[in-house]
Amino acid sequence: MSRHSWWLGIVLGGVAIARFAAAETPAWTPSDWTKEETLKLCTNDPGEGEYCFKVWLVVIDGDVYVRLGTKAADRMQKHGGGAVLPVEIGGHRFDRVRATEARDYVERVSQAMAAKYTSDIFVHYFSHPLTMRLRPEAPAS
């Protein structure tokens, strides 16, 4: 193999890998997830490792919202406001999603949950101290 052929192979291989990686990076598309029942929020505490838990979701105004019960809210509060964490939804994993408290959407999220989930007729009686908006974190430039 000539020296030029070797370099051409390296360049073409790099292009193929870049295309494959780009194809594997899922798009954050909340409108595609309106019918999803749950998503997984994942936390990573030192000494415990990664822990993922399922929660209901709703999509309102193009954003994903979750309403957390006491145990899940306590877990999220350990990570502080505006935590960046992995989220699994619609068969995709997003490693850097910012979860921020959405106090201004508590009532809208509650109403959307009631409309989407039949069993919310019972679940809404439990404490849900934390409503969060999920958005992917912009990549660092």
70-122 pLDDT, tens digit per residue, is 888 888 877 655 689 999 999 999 999 999 999 999 999 999 999 999 986 77
Strands across the sheet containing 92-101: 49-56, 38-45, 83-89, 92-101, 130-136, 63-68, 58-60
Domain of 90?
A: 30-136
pTM (predicted TM-score): 0.78
Phi-psi region of 15 (alpha: psi -120 to 50; beta: other; left: phi over 0): alpha
CA distance 99 to 20: 29
Assess if residue 1 is contained within a domain. no
CATH of the domain at 49: 2.30.110.10
Q: Which residue has the higher pLDDT, 67 or 129?
A: 67
Give the model's pLDDT for residue 39. 98
CA distance 55 to 76: 13
Which residues sit opposite 68 in a β-bridge? 130
- Give the confidence band of 21 by pLDDT, cuts at 50, 70, 90: very low
CA distance 66 to 31: 15
Give the model's pLDDT for residue 11. 44
Q: What total of structural domains would you count in the chain?
A: 1
Assess if residue 65 is contained within a domain. yes
